[in-house]
Amino acid sequence: MMKRLLILEDGTIFEGTAFGADIEVTGEVVFSTGMTGYQESITDQSYNGQILTFTYPLVGNYGINRDDYESIVPTCKGVVVRENARIASNWRNQMSLDEFLQRKNIPGISGIDTRALTRIIRHHGTMKATLVNPGDEIKHIQDQLRATVLPTNQVEQVSTSTAYPSPGTGRNIVVVDFGLKHSILRELSKRECNLTIVPHTITAEEIFDMNPDGVMLTNGPGDPTDVPEALEMIRGIQDKFPIFGICLGHQLFAMANGATTSKMKFGHRGFNHAVREIATGRVDFTSQNHGYAVDADSIDKTDLMVTHIEINDKSVEGVRHKYLPAFSVQFHPDAAPGPHDADYLFDEFMEMIDATKLEKGDF
């Protein structure tokens, strides 16, 4: 079997076995602590430009199926595993992980100590890395890696370029696509919402013309400060329509109201993050995938209030506007993969929409 190297920006080199596409890539290396859900993670556009390491030691054992895509064209840069399962066994299985990555032109590396890699990332923070085949002079590869500037237009890469519908018979929701997961659309469709998915560049005036019952701000990749055009849009609509933000949408909603964000050392990526709702003390285990967070000390000067915190590091996990029908969460209530503890938040969004319509006399 062909060898492949994973070379980190700090000079660390891991040698393993190649699988997936036979190409060389460079990206930000991150890790996910999920024990399952590798298909959903790989196809999650929030991993755009990243080399995704799975901490669970066996990946690929149930193959790839038609139901668990979170996007059609995944844009993560590479996949790192301890062991790539030789046999995929599941009644839904349609192809192996290896075949899937080949079709999607994503390289993988197996047979490396992912625990050691994770410890490096936890200690030093996320960093640039490259997946290459042996042969080139290592110092030259390392020099190239250090000189590489990673792109900052991730949302532009993954957001839809044109609006499209997902018809339903209920509430009219505009979904602003910053790199959405299909599971968000599934949850809204379960509630019979009539959806219009729009590009991240949409303006407040264009949303006014659609006259929705509510607006969803989706997840997406990268640094929220790289999407300044979204802030003006959010400020323009938040006193007109109920808003629900998830992940990147949460960060942008907070920034539009005066809060700030900062890069985390290694982020939250996995499906076992315990989050406490401050008002009730309720604890939910949540699915998360983000490398930036809202700064807690920046909330006090805004019209926002913190509603949820992460139990382990006390980071901000949810905010709500004090005077407007708008709220957001850092985690994924849509899960996929992960626990569905927090899917009630979609029902709260529906209730917020109905209450707003009743107040306006629109029923």
Out of 250, 273, 290, 332, pick the active-site residue: 332
Out of 247, 273, 290, 308, pick the active-site residue: 247
Out of 44, 213, 334, 341, pick the active-site residue: 334
Question: Which residues lie below 8 Å from residue 238, measured CB to CB, with a gap of 6+?
Answer: 253, 256, 257, 321, 324, 326
34 marked as part of a ligand binding site: no
Residue 57 · residue 83 · CB < 8 Å: yes
Residue 53 · residue 129 · CB < 8 Å: no
46 marked as part of a ligand binding site: yes
Question: Taking the alpha carbons of 184, 189, 191, 195 in that order, is the dihedral positive or negative?
Answer: positive
Element (H, E) at 289: strand 283-294
Annotation says 247 is catalytic: yes
Annotation says 332 is catalytic: yes
Annotation says 334 is catalytic: yes
Edge-to-edge strand list for the sheet holding 172-176: 164-166, 194-198, 172-176, 214-217, 243-246, 326-329, 316-321, 304-310, 261-277, 283-294
289 marked as part of a ligand binding site: yes
238 marked as part of a ligand binding site: no
DSSP assignment, residue 183? Answer: H
* Alpha carbon separation from 358 to 45, 89, 91, 97 (Å, rounded): 36, 51, 47, 49
291 marked as part of a ligand binding site: yes
11 marked as part of a ligand binding site: no
Binding residues: 46, 220, 222, 248, 251, 289, 291-292
Catalytic site residues? Answer: 247, 332, 334
Binding residues for L-glutamine: 46, 220, 222, 248, 251, 289, 291-292
